[in-house]
């Protein structure tokens, strides 16, 4: 695909990562263990038997990585903080050496004119809190709010945005629903209760950060998708309606409407969460931005075996259907249903089985994927959706959770044995693409 779309001069262009996936430094300078340290060191939990102890060694190599970003010409960098790095037990004493690392990273970004967009929680709960029940324990939501306030107090005036959570759906459903992710629990009722505590923690953190009075825009990042019935059968249509309700609406409705969606509550039945008086009022408060992560659609079939989508554009190396039209449909559907703040596409990208060929990494499939999704988001933008920026996932190949190092999402190749970084064709394309965007731009995004 060669279509070129010109975006407004104010549009933010970025790349994204997360702490556990790239930092390494698992116990460096007083960092405490997280649930992903524990999980990845448990035999059989990660497909290739690897862990995040070193990952991309970003903890020590961040100047090189920021230099790569600067060379690409991005405006912004979205990354997460490791809670256990700055508060080893998730409560109690702060670790000044951990905060010093993020101070150095921010200084490096500032020196290159790259705006920092921080996520407070990208799945790496301090193990100390997990030992006390983790997200199933309501107290964790209050500890999270204290952590959020401390980050905002220290760094809030140096950050463009602060997101409370990344993809709470994954924390609840993959961490507690099917044991695919840390902490490795498979219990439907627990997963639904955890989802409520995550929503509560978001609201508590928003209030706590606002009291600090930083200048950062505050919001949340949700992974979202359309849910399409495989056929026009009543069963498939009902399955699609429930899938959208239990995934997208389950997190959007408390935040934007102060309630859970009736369909999902009804189907959950006895597994519905325990909600205390005032919880939903805490969750239902204005946010300054909404981050949307989009990778695929849900294709809902009640047949046995389930009917599969045609995958006209193929699949990614994760086995996910490539379906850019779903991004347009999702954004328009959200726009119609909610009073939305400005939106950032905070993650979008693909795993590709990249190989080095004569010193280069050709990944034209990834370039095509990104081009198609940029067109899709711009189609929604032209129909009235207020989209302010796009963060390509991911800057670096990294630790892909329970897939270990077997899946490569980066536009920069990482040789894990040597830590050598090599720009893939997609990185070179992205650099050129941003140069093409520059003529109509008034200034580097701040």
- As annotated, the active-site residues are 347
CA distances from 402 to 39, 180, 262 (A): 9, 7, 33
Helix 96-111 with 58-72: angle, nearest 10 deg: 20
DSSP 256-280: HHSS--HHHHHHHGGGSPP--TTHH
Do the Cβ atoms of 8 and 43 come closer than 8 Å? no
CA distance 399 to 22: 7
Question: What three-state secondary structure class fits 412?
Answer: strand
CA distance 127 to 104: 25
CA distance 45 to 401: 10
Q: First-to-last CA distance in the chain? A: 31
Residue 435: HSE in the Cβ half-sphere, 13 Å Cα cutoff: 9
CA distances from 220 to 105, 197, 316, 318, 344 (A): 22, 15, 26, 25, 10
Residues near 351 by Cβ (< 8 Å), separated by ≥ 6?
Answer: 316, 317, 318, 400, 407, 408, 409
CA distance 396 to 24: 13
> What does the buried/exposed string (b/e) look like for 117-136 if buried means 16 or more CB atoms within 10 Å of the residue's CB?
bbbbbbbbbbbbbbeeebbb
Place of tokens 């190749």: 413
Please report which residue ranges of 156-249 form alpha helices under DSSP H. 168-172, 188-212, 234-244
């Amino acid at each position: 695909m060669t279509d070129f779309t010109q975006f407004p001069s104010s549009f933010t262009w970025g790349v994204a990562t997360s702490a556990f996936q790239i930092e390494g430094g698992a116990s460096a300078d007083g960092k405490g263990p997280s649930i992903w340290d524990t999980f990845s060191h448990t035999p059989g939990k990660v497909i290739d038997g690897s862990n995040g102890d070193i990952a991309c060694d970003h903890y020590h190599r961040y100047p090189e990585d920021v230099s790569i970003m600067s060379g690409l010409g991005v405006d912004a960098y979205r990354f997460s903080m490791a809670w256990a790095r700055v508060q080893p037990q998730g409560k109690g004493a702060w670790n000044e050496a951990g905060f010093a690392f993020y101070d150095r990273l921010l200084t490096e970004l500032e020196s290159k004119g790259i705006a920092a967009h921080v996520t407070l929680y990208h799945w790496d709960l301090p193990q100390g809190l997990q030992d006390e029940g983790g997200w199933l324990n309501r107290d964790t939501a209050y500890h999270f709010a204290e952590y959020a306030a401390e980050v905002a107090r220290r760094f809030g005036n140096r950050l463009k945005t602060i997101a409370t959570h990344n993809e709470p759906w994954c924390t609840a459903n993959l961490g507690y629903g099917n044991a695919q992710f840390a902490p490795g629990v498979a219990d439907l009722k627990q997963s639904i209760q955890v989802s409520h505590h995550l929503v509560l923690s978001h609201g508590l953190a928003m209030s706590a950060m606002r009291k600090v009075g930083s200048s950062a825009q505050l919001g949340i990042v949700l992974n979202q998708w359309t849910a399409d019935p495989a056929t026009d059968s009543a069963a498939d249509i009902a399955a699609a309606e429930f899938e959208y309700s239990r995934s997208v609406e389950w997190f959007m409705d408390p935040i934007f409407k102060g309630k859970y969606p009736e369909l999902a509550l009804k189907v959950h039945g006895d597994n519905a969460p325990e909600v205390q008086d005032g919880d939903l009022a805490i969750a239902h408060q204005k946010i300054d931005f909404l981050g949307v992560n989009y990778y695929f659609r849900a294709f809902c079939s009640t047949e046995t075996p389930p009917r599969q989508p045609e995958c006209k554009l193929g699949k990614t190396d994760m086995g996910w259907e490539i379906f850019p039209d779903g991004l347009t449909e999702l954004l328009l559907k959200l726009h119609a249903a909610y009073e939305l703040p400005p939106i950032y596409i905070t993650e979008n990208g693909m795993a590709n089985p990249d190989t080095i060929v004569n010193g280069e990494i050709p990944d034209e499939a990834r370039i095509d994927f990104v081009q198609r999704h940029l067109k899709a988001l711009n189609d929604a933008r032209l129909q009235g959706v207020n989209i302010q920026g796009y963060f390509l996932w991911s800057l670096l190949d990294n630790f892909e959770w329970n897939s270990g190092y077997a899946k490569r999402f980066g536009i920069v190749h990482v040789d894990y044995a040597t830590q050598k970084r090599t720009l893939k064709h997609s990185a070179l394309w992205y650099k050129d693409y941003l140069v093409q965007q520059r003529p109509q731009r008034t200034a580097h995004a701040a």
